[in-house]
Structures are given as structure tokens and as C-alpha cells.
A and B are shown apart, each in its own frame.
Chain A
Amino acid sequence: MANMSPEKIKMPEQAPDVRNKNFEEVALGYTAEMAVEEAQRCLNCKHKPCVGGCPVNVRIPEFIAEVAKGDFMAAYQVITSTNALPAVCGRVCPQESQCESKCVRGMKGEAVGIGRLERFVADWYMKNCDEMPEKPAPNGKKVAVVGSGPSSLACAGDLAKLGYAVTIFEAFHKAGGVLVYGIPEFRLPKAIVQKEIDKLSALGVEIMTNMVIGKVLSVDEIIDDMGFDAVFIGTGAGLPSFMGIPGEALVGVYSANEYLTRINLMKAYLPEYDTPIRNSKAVAVVGGGNVAMDAARCAKRMGAEKVYIVYRRSEKEMPARLEEIHHAKEEGIEFHLLRNPVKILDNGEGQVCGIECLKMELGEPDASGRRSPVPVEGSNYVIDVDTVVMSIGTSPNPLIRSTTKGLETNRKGCLVVNEETNQTTREGVYAGGDAVTGAATVILAMGAGKKAAEAIDNYLKNK
């Protein structure tokens, strides 16, 4: 008999006024009892609408049925047949706009906590079956994977399991891409990412850090001189945008990329690290996505007394996950919605002392379907802040496309690929993730990495 409670089983969390002073994980995860109980809320619908809501079609009712039976191992096998990074996706996927948005239970009450269950299963596996995979017999072919974010990790993993000798080239000193430099520890513990990378190493994947492809080596050199049979480009969308308003060059204005990298990758929050960061009292984060929420919540944890989100549309249009918005509010982040910055103010010494904003109203829907904001003339006001973090989006890095002949890109700088195979406009060169789509989600990137791995395997088998 299904559990007919209209609400999800609550997931234990650190209390807001405790967690906004530390970097430990906010959500603590279900116990086995909670997971079984939540799994029993699933009606196991015949038409499985949730599966269609998942970018990688995880067989959701099937894994949830295993959880309900208490067979967590079987549940893990079901999930990982299509999702290479369940512990990550269970934490960072926007379930409310994907699988859970389609859940029949969501029509009257809350959807089944699919993300929470996925996370539980992945964590349970990590805790109880912590065997490293064995290195498969080599098939004699070499594949280069550029970048080490979610698409690359998925692609490298699938290829390594098929016996390919895979080398990952990472530009930073540490592998993991956005999972280590972007998403904060309190949302995605780095030990989980490291475990995924350790698994790749166990499968025989070689990871070369400090390798900026397009500078240190070109894609052509990887193929011609180093003898790789195929290349996967998973370099993400790392180039930060600025608004182009006066004052953006003042001391105290960061891109979200820089701010988060200093904190997450370079561990500015730990005393034993030398990484400098501004000692901010009041911070305005401009933007409404997950990255903006991450930056705001980091700022709070770094000791800022006041942290504001400044977003030009209303909360409904915010691209961030509901849970992140909810958590940010609980942690004391103040939201200035329908507000657009027009100027960052100078304290007279070249440092930020405020941000001048204009009130906005929602007009007609724009190309994205979201109602576009229209400024209210003369509504300017100033928020006193000493730090501004610009989190208004990123675009793909031109380093590879500008140094590789025959790679077509669209007008946004995204690599053009065949949708079936993720092959770029060059034979043997594949791409996936944000480098192709522009800034998107971990699960889409992971799915693209898996798809490309399959296509690379087909290509090299027939070559």
C-alpha cells in the first residue's frame, strides 16, 4: 500500500543560523527508514512521466521500487545504468523542473522526493560498497578528454570501462571542473567528487592537470603528435560576463567565477590556505541563478553581515533551484527583486561603497518565454555594500575553438555538434556539456558525456 502522505519526508538539515557560519553540507540526507518510507509514496505509474522529465531517463519508478523493498544495491544498479554521477545529481539537479515536475503525486501535494532518494542510494552505496572498479583489459585505443567537469567525467568513465586508454587534460591544478571550483562544499562535498575521480583512476584513466588545451597543446597535436584516436571536448562555459556598467573595475567587484574559485577551489575559507579574498561586510550578488545563490551563501559564510541578491526579474523567473532560493532566504540572504544595477559606486579610493539600482516592472514575455523587465524611470536607489559579485552568466571559452581548425561554433561561441553523436564538425572530435549548450545543468552535461562516449566507441570500433 502506497504511503499517501501529501508531503515528502523531510530531509534533515543543519539549522540555518548554524550552517550559515560553516561550509559543511546543508542537507544531511535520508536515513534508510526515511528513504523506504518516502519510496513508498511512489505510485509506480505505468506511463512513468518522471522518466521523460529526466535528461538521462533514469528508470525512476524501478529504482524507487527497489528502495521501497530495501534493496538499495539493486536501486543503485538501476540508477547507474544511465546516470554516472548519482551522488552529484541527487544533490544538484533541479528536480522540481525535471523528474519531480512530472510526478503524479505532485498534482495533489508534493512530488515524490526523487532527488533525495537518488542521493540516498548513491550515498548508501558509497558508504557500504566502497570497492574501486577494476581496470578492464585495454583495447589498444587512446581517447583524450579535455576538461574534467561532469561531461568529461562521464565520458571518460564510460570509455575506460570499454577498455580505452583515456587521458583527461585539465587546465586547473585539480580535476573536477565546476564541481570543484564552482559548486560550494556545503552543497556538494568535494570528497564525493574526489571519489568519482578516484574511480576513474582505478579504471586506468590518466589525469594530467595544468594542461590548458589550446595553449600547452592543440587538439591537432593531441591527435597527430600524441596519437590519440579521438578527442572529447568538455571544456564548459567558463568565460564570465560583466554588465558593462560604470564601476565594474573598482576594487571589490568580482565575477562569480573568481569569487567562487577563490573560496571553493582555492579554499579561502580555510585558515591554512594562503588564498586572499576581500573581507566583506556587505555584499551584493547580481543574478538569480544557482551560481548567484552559491556566491551569496558563500559570502554569508565568509562573515559578511549583509548579503543581497539583486535580480532584475521576479522570484518566479529565477533560474535557481527552488531549494537553493529557499535555503538562501533561510540563511538570511535579502532579495532585491525586480531591481537592475546601473552603477557601482566608488568610495573615493577606488573601492566599492555601494550599488545603485533601478526598479523594474515585468513587461511582455521575451524570446526565453520569461516576462522581460522594464525599468521604472527615476526609481534609482543605493544599497550600501563593499563588495559586488557579478553572476549574470558565462559563455564558452574561445581557447580551443580559436586554435583548432575546422571546429564550427554558433554565434554564442558554442561548439556545433551532431545531435545524435555529439561529434563536432571535425571527424574524431566530439564535444558535450556547456561547451556545446552554453551554461546548463550538471545532468545535461553528464548525459552528453555518456552519449559522446557511446558514439566515440562506435566510431573507433568501425575505424
Chain B
Amino acid sequence: MFRIVNKKELNSMVTLLEIEAPFVAKKAQAGQFIIFRVDEYSERVPLTIADYDREKGTVTIIFQKVGLSTQLLAAKEIGESIQDFVGPLGVATEYDGMKKVAVVGGGVGCAIAYPQAKALHEMGVEVDVIAGFRNKDIVILEEEMQAVSTHFYLMTDDGSQGEKGFVTDKLKALIEAGNQYDAVIAIGPIPMMKFVSLTTKPYGIHTIVSLNPIMIDGTGMCGGCRVTVGGKIKFACVDGPDFDGHEVDFDELMNRNSIYKAREAELTETHLCRMEKMAQELIR
């Protein structure tokens, strides 16, 4: 069992949990992910590692309540435990030779963009962070991102905080203004990563995206997480989750991620029963 030692609601939809997992914390690096399972009846769900503390032996995950499993996870309180927490899985992000980087985060993707920026910042790399949100109510990690960036740009779709516009608008403007980026690291919803990649392509800027497809084991065994990269089948769990954004077939990925949408809606309805059951068990 893996105990929750800290919990924060970052906004109405996004939760931060710090979880005791010494083996994971010992090895975790930016870009890698874990798979959690709340209890015996739950799915196995991958989440990219947001932070880790090797001394405390803890790993931080930040996630949006999008389906049954993430809702069950978000319902756990400090001191409670979850059944399974395995990692670090996947290949860590490669920063070799980077001197100036733009890190682009979209929505809850900022939870993963932030540790990337932090790692680069600590290596002495010049980091411009562009963080995009739909509106001011869902902005997360603003101060944290600001602290680890050379320049920080906050964008909202409706202009309710920061600048009005998409992250791609800002990225293009920065490139056009003469900023020479060795790489762009984009983490967020699939359409955002797709459009960031399209934005950087004409400039030939190396663009790294972090994919989060459906998977079971995270060790290359189920093949559920296969993505087409440069015309070849890759397994995001062992070959990724980072890939060259100019090579990824984003439309295919979006389609594959929709496989259980109908069922997910159904499950969300049953979610209340599950919550009820968990509560009952606690009372007992």
C-alpha cells in the first residue's frame, strides 16, 4: 500500500497528491511516469511524475478528475493509502546540449511542464515558460513556474488572466522576435501538442511532446499505448513517453484515446455508488 502524505486541490478539477513510494522516488527523473491503481477493483492508470523527494521517499502527482479512476484517487485523503503505485516508467527526457528552451504547458499539462522547466532551470538552461489555460479559474502552479523560468508568459483563452490568446500565438511571437530555442518542450492536451508542433515545424526547432495514451502494464507488454511516430509503431510506455512532435501522428492518438469514452460516461454515473461503498467501508 502507498500512503498519501500531502494533498492540495489546485483548482476545482485538479488535485495534487504526494505519495510515499521510496523505490519510485529513488529513481524518478523528469519525463517519467507512474501507474496507479486505487484499489482491487480499479483500473491501472498512467500519470507523469510531477515531482519527487528522494530523501522523504515521496512522489508528487498532479491530475485532473476526468474519469472514474482519477475521481476515486482524488477522493483519497492524507493518511489514506492506495493499492498500487509503480514506477518510474518510461524514458527520462533528454536535455543534452540544450542552452535555451521554451517549455509550453497547457491546462493540467502544466503539472508536467513545471518539473521540466525546473530541471532545465537547475541545469542553468535559459527557460521561457508559456502556460495556457482556458480561464483564470483553472490556473495552476503560476508562482512555481514563474520561479523556474527566465521569462514566464501566462495565457488564457478568454484573457481573464495574463494575456489573451493561445500558447501557440505566444510561441510564434517569441520565435519571430528572434528567440533562438534549441528545443521546445510541449505538454498538454493532444490538440495543443499537435499545434505547437505545427508551429515550430517551419522553423525546424526540435520539439518534444509527452504522450499519455491508454496503457495497462507500462512495461511494453500490452501494446495498448502504441503510437505511430515517423511512420513506425512505438510503445509510449517503453519508447516514450517523450517523442519528436514533428513525427507523431496526433490524430491517430486522439482517436485511440477515445476508445472507452462511452463507457467512461457510464462509469462516472456508477462512480457515486463506488464512493458510497468506500465511505461505508471507512465507517465500518
Q: Which of B85, B223, B252 contacts A240 (CB 8 A)?
A: B223
Task: Pick from B39-47, B48-56, B165-173 the stretch touching chain A.
Answer: B39-47
| Given A257-B222, A261-B216, A274-B69; A216-B87 close (CB under 8 Å) | yes
How many Å from the CB of B234 to the closest CB on chain A? 11
Q: How far is the CB of B270 from chain A (nearest CB, A)?
A: 8
Q: Does B244 contact A (CB under 8 A)?
A: no
Q: Which residues of B contact A211 (CB under 8 A)?
A: 23, 86
- In the complex, per-residue mask of A251-291: 1 if CB is within 8 Å of any chain B CB, else 0: 11011011001100010000011111011000000000000
Minimum CB–CB distance for A239 against chain B, Å: 5
Nearest A residue to B216 via CB reads: A261
Interface contact A251-B219, CB-CB below 8 Å: no
Residues of A within 8 A of B66 (CB): none
Interface centre among A209, A276, A399, by most chain B C-beta atoms within 10 angstroms, is: A276
Bound CA–CA A272/B267 (angstroms): 11
Q: Of A244, A276, A278, A397, which is within 8 A of B220 by CB?
A: A397
Task: Please report the C-alpha to C-alpha distance between residue A248 and residue B87 in the assembled complex, in whole angstroms.
Answer: 28
Looking at the complex, which one of B43, B218, B249 makes contact with A275 (CB distance below 8 Å)?
B43
B37 and A173 within 8 A (CB): yes
- Shortest distance from the beta carbon of A98 to any chain B beta carbon, whole Å: 27
Q: List CB contacts (< 8 Å) of B234-284 with chain A.
A: 238, 249, 252, 255-256, 258-260, 263-264, 267, 274
Q: Is A31 an interface residue (CB 8 A)?
A: no
A-B contacts at CB below 8 angstroms, number: 108
Residues of A within 8 A of B123 (CB): none
Cα distance, A167 to B19, chains bound together (Å): 24
Minimum CB distance partner of A210 in chain B: B86
Q: Flag if B233 contacts A278 (CB, 8 Å).
A: no
Given A274-B41, A276-B264, decide whether A261 and B222 contact each other with a Cβ distance below 8 A: yes
- Find the B residue at minimum CB distance from A239: B220
Which residues of A pack against B, CB within 8 Å?
171-173, 209-212, 215-217, 238-240, 242, 244, 248-252, 254-255, 257-258, 261-262, 266, 272-276, 278-279, 350, 397-399
Decide if the interface of chain B is mainly helix, strand, loop or mixed. mixed
Q: In the complex, which of the residues A216, A248, A252, A266 contacts B43, with contact meaning CB atoms closer than 8 Å?
A: A266
Residue of B23, B220, B221, B252 touching A216 (CB-CB under 8 A): B23
- Whether B27 sits at the interface, judged by CB under 8 Å, is yes
Interface centre among A250, A272, A274, A397 (most CB of B within 10 A): A274
Interchain CA distance A250-B258 in the complex, whole Å: 11
Which of B84, B228, B249 meets A210, CB within 8 Å?
A: B84
Contact A273 B23 (CB under 8 A): no
B217 touches A261 (CB 8 A): yes
Residues from chain A with a CB closer than 8 A to the CB of B105 are: none
**CA of A275 to CA of B256, assembled, Å:** 17
State the Cβ distance, B132 to closest chain A Cβ, in Å: 27
Give the distance to chain A from B20, nearest Cβ to Cβ, in Å: 13
Q: How far is the CA of A279 from the CA of B260 in the complex (A)?
A: 10
Q: Which residues of B contact A275 (CB under 8 A)?
A: 43
The residue among B44, B83, B219 with the most chain A CB atoms within 10 A of its own CB is B219
User: What are the residues of chain B within 8 A of A173 when measuring CB–CB?
Assistant: 37, 44, 83-84, 86
